[in-house]
Structure 1
C-alpha cells in the first residue's frame, strides 16, 4: 500500500516538473532571448542566431496580438494592416527610449520610424506615392532567396542629413525586404555628421528590422567629402567601402567575427543613394541584374523634374562617351539628346529597354557581391598619372580588367533626390509599371541584351567638364 502511495507521489512530481519545464523553457517569449545580448542595437555587430520570431505581444491588455509565424511572409503580405500591427506590437530587443537623441526628440523619432514601417502612410510626411502591390514579375527573386538560409540581398547606403528623404527611401527598402524575406536581407548604413536626426532614426529602425529577422549594420564616420580635408573622390570611395565592410568574411575586432558564411555565393549588393524611390524600382533593377546575368546594373537619376540626367560625369556609353554631349564651354545645351552617338543605346533608351554601357551609377546600382567580398575590386580614387574620374567610372574600369564588364543601364527605373523631384520625375519618366509588363516573371526576348565582352576603344576623360580628353578604357 505504501509502495503504491510512493508511486502516485512520484508520478505527480514528474507531471509537475513536466508542466514547469513546458512553461519556463518553451514559453514563446523567452526572457533569455530578449536579454542575452544576441542583438546589439547601436554597433551593428550581431544579429539573431535563429529565424524563429517571438510571439507578438499586445500593446494593451485588452488587445489581441496578431500572430505572424516566422517565414509566413506571404500571408502577411496579403494583409498589410496585420503586418503593421505585428511590427508595432512585436517586442524589440532594447528600450528605444534609452537610445541617444541629441538632435531630435524620441517622439519625432517614433513618428519617422512608424511612418517608415507603414508603407502606405503618405499623410505623416509628404512623400512620393508608390504602387501598393508587388507584381508577380518579382516572385522568382523571393523564391531564389528562399532556397537557403543565407543572406542574398545586401543593401548599402551612405547617408548624411537625410531625414527629409528617409520616410520614402527607407520605407521602400523595408517594403522590398519584407517581400524578399527579411531573413535573406541585410542593410548596412554609414551615417556621417548629421544634425537632423538621421542617426537617431536609423538606430531605432535598426532594432525594428532585427526584430523582423533581418540584419542591420549601422556605423558612423566623420569623413566630409566636401570639407577640404580629403580628396572628394577618395573620401566618397572610402565611405562606399565602409558600407560594404560587413561583406568581408572577417573584419576588424569591432565587427562580428562570426559573420563568415552568412552570405550566399551569389549575393547581390544594392547600393542606394539618398533618393526617393519605390520598391518596384529596387526589385526591377535586381530582376534585370539576375535575368541579364549582369555584373553591375544602374538606374537613371534626374533633377529638374526628370528633365536633366544627373550622373553624367561618371557615366559612359558603350562608345566611351558621356550619356549626352558636353561641349568645351561646359554647357548643358545638349542634355536632352541622350546617347546621340550610340545608335543602339539611343534606340533602346528611347524604348525604355535595358542596354549595355561602359559605366554608370544613376542613384542606385546592383553589383555582384563576391568580387568585393574577395577584394578583387573596391571603390577607389584615381592613381597618380591616371585620368581623374569618379569612383563609379574607375570601378567599371577595374571590373573590365577582371572580366566583369557586363554593365547594364535600365531606363525603366527613374529616381530623384527629393520627394518633390521624384513626383515630377515619375510624371515625366514614368513608373516601372508604365514601361514593363510586370505580369511576366521572365525577361522578354526584346529585353535581352546582346553583351559585348570588349570595352570601348577609348573612354572620355573629364577631370572638369571643360577639359575633355580620351584615355584607354582599362
Structure 2
C-alpha cells in the first residue's frame, strides 16, 4: 500500500503522527505536559535550643561561595587595571616616539631648507637725505664753528635751547619726551662724570684734535624711542665736540613717523654744528625672498659709508633702537680706550613675558645669539628654558669653566669676552678703514713691549680690504651666524681680539625696564667713578686670559625651530687662519 503524503488529508483509520512533540502546560507530564521544577522554599531559621545545625552548614557553604565569587571579581578588576596600565604605557611610548620623530623631521627639514634654499639678491638701498623735510632751526642757535665750546661751561645753554626746540617739534608730532630716563648728568651743574670723560674730548683750541667718532644707527619704525635717542646723540656730540663727531643713520621701510622725526634731528645736528648723514629709503624689504643676514649686512654697511670718505676716525659706536643715556655711550668709549681693547659692549635687557613675568617680574639678557664668553659658550645656556624663572642678572656666566668671568660679573667689573653686540658697542675704527693687523701682533709697530703682550694664538691674517658686515650663508664650512658675530670673528682674524662687556652700562628696548630694580642693583655693584682712570680691580689683565679654542655657533634658521645644542649648534675656530 502506498505511503500517504504528509500533505494528504488524514485518514480516520490512520493515527495522527505529529512532526514535533507538542507540549501543553495544562497537561501532566505523563500526558505530554512540561515538568515543572518545584521551587525551593527555605524554611525560617530557628533560633535558640531548637536551632537546626544544618542551617549553619548551609550558611557556611553559601559564605564560601560568595567569598570565592568576590575573589574572582577582585582578580578580574586587578587584571583589568593591569591591562589598562599596559595600554596607557604603550600609548605614551608611542606618542613620545611620534613627537621625537616629528622633532627630528622638523630639525632635518629646517636644516635642509636652510642649506639648500636659493635666496634672491638683497635689496640694494636707494637712500636719500631727509633733512629737507624739516624746517631749519632758528639762526640764533647756530654754532660758531671757529670756536671750541665747553659743553659743561657757559655755552651749555645752546645745547639746551636746541633740545627745547626739538622737543617742541616732537610734541607736535605726538611723540614722548626726550629726557624721561634717569640719566647721570653731564652738565655745568653735575660735573662728576664730565671729569671722568674729559680725556675723550678737546677742551680748547690749543689742544690737539682727538680722533673722530662715528655714531652709527640702523632704524625701523622707531618713533617711540627716537626722542630719547636724540637726547643721547645730541649730548654726546656736544660733549665730544661737534667737529669730531659724525652721526650716520639709515632708516628704511618705516610706516610710522620715524622719517619725519629723523628730519628734525638732522636739523638739530646742523644747528649744533655736527656733520651727519641721515638717510631714508621708503621701500619695504621682502624678508621672505632674501637671506635675512645678507640683507642686514647690506643695511649696516650703509652707515659705514662715511669711513670711506674720511679715514680720520678712532671710534665707531653702533647704537640700536634702544633706550640709552649719554653717559652709557661715553662710558663704553672710555672703557675701550682705557682697557686698550678693540671693542666694548653694553648689556641689553628685556622684561619677562607671560607666565614667567607673573612668576618672576625680573629681566632677561637679550642678545644671547651673538654674545660668547672666552670659553666659547653663550653667556647663558640656550637650552636653559627655565632661566626666565630666575633672576636674570644672575644666570650669566654660570656654566662650568666660567668661574673667573662669573666672579668679575658678580662684582660689576668689566668682563673679557669673545664677542658681543648687546644693542650698544664701541669699536676700534682701524679694521673698518685699513687692511693692517693689530699693532699688538706687528712687531714693527711703535707699541711698547708690555703692550705687545697678549694670549698665545696663530698669527693674524692680512686682509685685502677693510672689514665690513657680511653673511656666511653661501660659505661652505662656515656657520651662518649673525652679521654681528661675524664682524667679531673678522676682528679676531685681524688680531683685534680684545673684547669686553661693561655690566654698569645697560640698554633696554622699553623705557620702564631701564629702571628695573635688578638692573639698578647691577649698576650699583661698581658704578662709574669720577676718576679719569681705571682702578686696579677694574682693569683687565689681558695676558692672564686664554683665547677660546672653539666657539659655539647657532646658525640663522628661519621659521620655527628648537634650540637644542645637539641638533643645531656647531663648534668652529674662533678666527680665520692662513691654513
Q: Structure 2 length normalisation: TM-score?
A: 0.59
Residue of structure 1 in register with 2:397 after alignment:
339
Instruction: Summarize the alignment of residues 212-251 of structure 1 with structure 2, pairs less than 5 Å apart.
Output: 212-221=272-281, 227-249=287-309
Higher mean alpha-carbon deviation, 211-220 vs 427-436, is at 427-436
Residue of structure 1 in register with 2:496 after alignment:
404
Q: What per-residue deviation string (whole Å, max 9, x for no partner) do you get for residues 231-282 of structure 1?
A: 1111222111111111113xxxxxxxxxx46x24xx1001000000111110
Name the CA distance, whole Å, in 2 between partners of 1:220 and 1:69: 27
User: Residues 277 and 415 of structure 1 are in contact (CA less than 8 Å); yes or no, is this contact kept in structure 2?
Assistant: yes
Once the 2 structures are TM-superposed, how far is the Cα of residue 377 of structure 1 from its aligned partner?
1.6
Residue of structure 2 in register with 1:415 after alignment:
507
Instruction: Summarize the alignment of residues 71-150 of structure 1 with structure 2, pairs less than 5 Å apart.
Output: 71-74=147-150, 77=153, 80-81=156-157, 83-85=159-161, 110-111=169-170, 124=177, 127-133=180-186, 135=193, 136-143=195-202, 147-149=207-209
Name the CA distance, whole Å, in 1 between partners of 2:482 and 2:177: 37
**Does the C-alpha gap of structure 1 residues 187 and 297 become closer, same or farther in structure 2, counting only changes over 3 Å?**
same
User: Residues 67 and 86 of structure 1 are in contact (CA less than 8 Å); yes or no, is this contact kept in structure 2?
Assistant: no
The one of 308, 311, 321 aligned to 2:377: 321
Once the 2 structures are TM-superposed, how far is the Cα of residue 432 of structure 1 from its aligned partner?
5.4
User: Residues 225 and 231 of structure 1 are in contact (CA less than 8 Å); yes or no, is this contact kept in structure 2?
Assistant: no
Once the 2 structures are TM-superposed, how far is the Cα of residue 173 of structure 1 from its aligned partner?
1.7
Unmatched tracts of structure 2, length 5 or more: 1-127, 132-137, 353-361, 435-464, 558-562
Residue of structure 1 in register with 2:417 after alignment:
357
Once the 2 structures are TM-superposed, how far is the Cα of residue 83 of structure 1 from its aligned partner?
3.8
Name the CA distance, whole Å, in 1 between partners of 2:151 and 2:315: 26
The one of 454, 474, 477 aligned to 1:385: 477
Q: Secondary structure at the match of 2:515?
A: helix
The one of 426, 429, 433 aligned to 1:369: 429
Once the 2 structures are TM-superposed, how far is the Cα of residue 171 of structure 1 from its aligned partner?
0.6
Q: What per-residue deviation string (whole Å, max 9, x for no partner) do you get for residues 153-203 of structure 1?
A: 110000010010011112112111111111110100000111211111112
Higher mean alpha-carbon deviation, 436-445 vs 315-324, is at 436-445
The one of 532, 547, 558 aligned to 1:441: 532
User: Residues 380 and 396 of structure 2 are in contact (CA less than 8 Å); yes or no, is this contact kept in structure 1?
Assistant: yes
Once the 2 structures are TM-superposed, how far is the Cα of residue 290 of structure 1 from its aligned partner?
0.5
User: Residues 109 and 201 of structure 1 are in contact (CA less than 8 Å); yes or no, is this contact kept in structure 2?
Assistant: no
Name the CA distance, whole Å, in 1 between partners of 2:387 and 2:524: 34
Once the 2 structures are TM-superposed, how far is the Cα of residue 131 of structure 1 from its aligned partner?
2.1
Name the CA distance, whole Å, in 2 between partners of 1:454 and 1:145: 42
Q: Secondary structure at the match of 1:440?
A: coil
Name the CA distance, whole Å, in 1 between partners of 2:146 and 2:162: 12
Q: What per-residue deviation string (whole Å, max 9, x for no partner) do you get for residues 401-424 of structure 1?
A: 111111111111111012122232
**Does the C-alpha gap of structure 1 residues 468 and 225 become closer, same or farther in structure 2, counting only changes over 3 Å?**
farther
The one of 367, 371, 374 aligned to 1:311: 367
Residue of structure 2 in register with 1:38 after alignment:
none
User: Residues 44 and 217 of structure 1 are in contact (CA less than 8 Å); yes or no, is this contact kept in structure 2?
Assistant: no
Residue of structure 2 in register with 1:15 after alignment:
none
**Does the C-alpha gap of structure 1 residues 321 and 57 become closer, same or farther in structure 2, counting only changes over 3 Å?**
closer
Once the 2 structures are TM-superposed, how far is the Cα of residue 437 of structure 1 from its aligned partner?
4.3
Name the CA distance, whole Å, in 2 between partners of 1:438 and 1:131: 12
User: Residues 299 and 411 of structure 1 are in contact (CA less than 8 Å); yes or no, is this contact kept in structure 2?
Assistant: yes
Once the 2 structures are TM-superposed, how far is the Cα of residue 436 of structure 1 from its aligned partner?
2.6
Name the CA distance, whole Å, in 1 between partners of 2:321 and 2:509: 6
**Does the C-alpha gap of structure 1 residues 75 and 322 become closer, same or farther in structure 2, counting only changes over 3 Å?**
closer
Instruction: Summarize the alignment of residues 124-203 of structure 1 with structure 2, pairs less than 5 Å apart.
Output: 124=177, 127-133=180-186, 135=193, 136-143=195-202, 147-149=207-209, 152-203=212-263
Once the 2 structures are TM-superposed, how far is the Cα of residue 230 of structure 1 from its aligned partner?
1.7
**Does the C-alpha gap of structure 1 residues 113 and 204 become closer, same or farther in structure 2, counting only changes over 3 Å?**
farther
Q: Structure 1 length normalisation: TM-score?
A: 0.72
Residue of structure 2 in register with 1:461 after alignment:
553
Unmatched tracts of structure 1, length 5 or more: 1-41, 46-55, 59-64, 90-106, 117-122, 250-259
Q: Secondary structure at the match of 1:312?
A: coil
Name the CA distance, whole Å, in 2 between partners of 1:113 and 1:218: 21
Name the CA distance, whole Å, in 2 between partners of 1:470 and 1:220: 38
**Does the C-alpha gap of structure 1 residues 125 and 412 become closer, same or farther in structure 2, counting only changes over 3 Å?**
closer
Name the CA distance, whole Å, in 1 between partners of 2:172 and 2:541: 43
What is the aligned length?
Answer: 383
Name the CA distance, whole Å, in 1 between partners of 2:376 and 2:204: 36
Name the CA distance, whole Å, in 2 between partners of 1:437 and 1:88: 28
Q: Secondary structure at the match of 1:179?
A: helix
Q: Secondary structure at the match of 1:298?
A: strand
Residue of structure 2 in register with 1:394 after alignment:
486
User: Residues 356 and 449 of structure 1 are in contact (CA less than 8 Å); yes or no, is this contact kept in structure 2?
Assistant: yes
Answer yes or no: is 1:281 the counterpart of 2:311: no
Once the 2 structures are TM-superposed, how far is the Cα of residue 329 of structure 1 from its aligned partner?
7.0
- CA-based RMSD of the aligned residues comes to 3.6
User: Residues 229 and 323 of structure 2 are in contact (CA less than 8 Å); yes or no, is this contact kept in structure 1?
Assistant: yes
User: Residues 149 and 204 of structure 2 are in contact (CA less than 8 Å); yes or no, is this contact kept in structure 1?
Assistant: no
Name the CA distance, whole Å, in 2 between partners of 1:125 and 1:75: 18
Name the CA distance, whole Å, in 1 between partners of 2:269 and 2:522: 27
